[in-house]
Structure 1
């Protein structure tokens, strides 16, 4: 007798029931996900919040020195640490007041102890000084010593001598050669205050007037004077790309009105360390030489279409080991 096996029949669920089952499953999954999200604690500090959502405001004057340093700080904090940094260019006095009032978080262009001494004394109680990001800076009255050219003199120099004086004391007897003018920058800059002090101290107020301008116009005036062989004295500072372009001399300052070598400090608002301890640690380690910053300044000037940020990224690639030392342990 042959055994006949009957295949079990597949149980077919009505289409409506299948839809209900799937809908119920989806609702359960959504409920689980929702409960997981609610179980996560709310973000209460820098360590828990996504860094990209943290916007830091870095305030600086519109000087080529500070545009370069601000762009470098911005690139380091954004590319190597993941924060968002907003740059705000303002006049020098406003730079200090905004930081002190808490409208800004970081200031990278505090020239001390002489250049911005007045601002520091006024706002220091509301700020945290992280120390120098650059040492060996200098301010003073500057003159061009030679003009560019192909003519070779007895000394072998391929240019002609221009301004021959070497001290601020010599200005008074040469006022006509300078047309009675000291070319400056914006009135609120610390170097302008020191220049006004120097004019009083050296007895120049009757023979000279201090011309207010801005950095770009000052540089253009310098370039025009150098190429036309005219004498010019201007408010200068280093680091600055013009020292790579022209033969320049700081006039001696026997009375010490402009001070000796300066340092450029990084400042943050009060409470910044508690709010952003990792950023605070990195900012306190960032420092470089005048020559290193002048190289970035030159790149920015020569590649204006790219913008300062891209040149800052280039600088970071070239100086990778230095930047690594700044952010080590805080990435």
Structure 2
């Protein structure tokens, strides 16, 4: 028979044991949360490239479980603003995503610039015998009266609509997707047919084809140069400081990003595999991205 003192002592030890188990379980769960990343990107060449690179680094170098999801621009902003994703990898500022940023800026946090020197506008092959947007109406029939666009929610589609109105263009903006646009461009380019597309840098197509941006009139300039930012959910820096720091540290030069994009585009392997191969050959590029003591865990 157990005496009262022995019984209380046993209960006390059992309580400490249960508390310890609970504490360890909680720490394990917390550590798991800290070592996960949910990243959203748009199905554009540059976003595909460096988001898959980020996944490879986080998994192979920092011990994270990473999920990357392709989405339209609007849903991507919404997912981060509502806390359903950790970060949106591709905010183009100050022009293309200005409206989205204004709508969601109080619900997201700017983690910094991943690329500097963006350019967007109407793009044609260099063999096309015009150089400015204001010349388009004179040769609209050579383009079948169409501008080949991408997905409807993209910022470049809304700004192109503004350009059509500003220049009173007799061309219709045709919605498609990034891959469909580049497929149409390649087909036309191979036959030296005239085509005008919504284009942007950085993009692998400028490494594959001889292209030019159509110039804007000084008094009708809508597009300009800018940067690509990574936007995190509002509490990311407190909840997952290491992940936030890593995303803030990410930065690729024009040459580095172009090399990665072309590698992905010209390979038969998937983007993640190519990104991992590129990583092994470019360790020096990413060594400053990884926060100090990133492999250390604490409770």
SS at match of 1:325: coil
SS at match of 2:156: helix
Render the CA deviation track for 1:137-161: whole Å, top value 9, x for unaligned. Answer: 111100001xxxxxxxxxxxxxxxx
CA distance in 1, matches of 2:75, 2:18: 47
Task: Report what 2:20 is aligned to.
Answer: 38
CA distance in 1, matches of 2:258, 2:185: 18
Q: Is the 8 A contact 1:59 1:95 kept in 2?
A: yes
Structure 1 residues 174 and 196 mapped into 2: Cα distance closer, same or farther (>3 Å)? same
Task: Report what 1:10 is aligned to.
Answer: none
Specify which of 224, 238, 242 is matched with residue 201 of structure 2.
Answer: 238
Q: Is the 8 A contact 1:240 1:294 kept in 2?
A: yes
Specify which of 80, 100, 122 is matched with residue 119 of structure 1.
Answer: 100
1:171-250 equivalence runs, <5 A: 171-204=136-169, 207-250=170-213
**1:279 matches 2:243:** yes
CA distance in 1, matches of 2:258, 2:278: 11
Render the CA deviation track for 1:35-61: whole Å, top value 9, x for unaligned. Answer: 499278346679x94458743210111
Task: Report what 2:78 is aligned to.
Answer: 97
Larger Rg, first or second structure (1 or 2): 1
**1:329 matches 2:295:** no
Q: Is the 8 A contact 1:138 1:262 kept in 2?
A: yes
Deviation at 1:107, TM superposition (A): 1.0
Task: Report what 1:130 is aligned to.
Answer: 111
CA distance in 2, matches of 1:203, 1:169: 9
Aligned length: 279
Deviation at 1:322, TM superposition (A): 2.5
For structure 1, list consecutive stretches of 5 or more residues without a partner in the other structure: 1-30, 146-161
Q: Is the 8 A contact 1:134 1:290 kept in 2?
A: yes
Render the CA deviation track for 1:266-308: whole Å, top value 9, x for unaligned. Answer: 110011111011111121111011221121111112223x311
**Which is richer in helix?**
2
SS at match of 1:171: helix
Q: Is the 8 A contact 2:245 2:291 kept in 1?
A: no
Specify which of 249, 263, 266 is matched with residue 302 of structure 1.
Answer: 266
Q: Is the 8 A contact 1:45 1:275 kept in 2?
A: no
Task: Report what 1:140 is aligned to.
Answer: 121
SS at match of 2:119: strand
Task: Report what 1:288 is aligned to.
Answer: 252
Q: Is the 8 A contact 1:52 1:82 kept in 2?
A: no
Provide the TM-score with structure 2 as the length reference: 0.87
SS at match of 1:327: coil
Deviation at 1:64, TM superposition (A): 1.8
Task: Report what 1:267 is aligned to.
Answer: 231
Task: Report what 2:39 is aligned to.
Answer: 58
Structure 1 residues 97 and 190 mapped into 2: Cα distance closer, same or farther (>3 Å)? same
Deviation at 1:167, TM superposition (A): 0.8
CA distance in 2, matches of 1:175, 1:77: 48
**1:317 matches 2:299:** no
Q: Is the 8 A contact 1:239 1:291 kept in 2?
A: no
SS at match of 1:326: coil
**1:69 matches 2:34:** no
Deviation at 1:256, TM superposition (A): 1.7
Q: Is the 8 A contact 2:52 2:272 kept in 1?
A: yes
CA distance in 2, matches of 1:328, 1:106: 17
